[in-house]
Amino acid sequence: MNINWIILIIGGVFESIFAMSLGKMQQTSGKEMWLWLAIFLASVSLSMFLLFKSMGGSHPIPTGTAYAVWAGIGAVGTVVLSILVFREPVTFWRIFFLSTLIISIVGLQFTSAHH
């Protein structure tokens, strides 16, 4: 796995953080809400920057693949965090479709690596 994939994965993690911070902002007010806003702004900036960096350098990830994987990592991470933090329901179908998303992300990584 080249460094761009690691950068992209970290960017996807920060996407989950910025999505979760939006949920936390809706549940808070005052200084705590401003703290979550600061976390949102920092994580969205870092996430976008890391997405951008993963598409450059000596082994760039193609734009379509990078964006799809970045968004998929963010989606999977957000669902998992929502289950853990917000106590969202865990159902068979939710886990089934989350699993298909993970399989798709891995598949994109493998097909892009051989391209």
Over residues 49-60, the pLDDT tens digits come to: 999 999 998 889
Task: Compute the radius of gyration of the chain from its Cα atoms.
Answer: 15
- Contact assessment for residue 67 and residue 51, using Cβ atoms and an 8 Å cutoff: yes
* pLDDT at residue 79, as a whole number: 93
d(CA 4, CA 7) in angstroms, rounded, equals 5
CA-CA distance, 37 to 20, in Å (whole number)? 11
Q: pLDDT value at position 110?
A: 81
pLDDT tens column, 17-34: 999 999 899 999 999 999
Please name the residues in contact with 80: beta carbons below 8 A apart, sequence gap of 6 or more. 16, 98
For 62-111, what is each residue's pLDDT tens digit?
998 999 999 999 999 999 999 998 899 999 999 999 999 999 988 887 88
According to the model, what pLDDT value does residue 114 have? 53
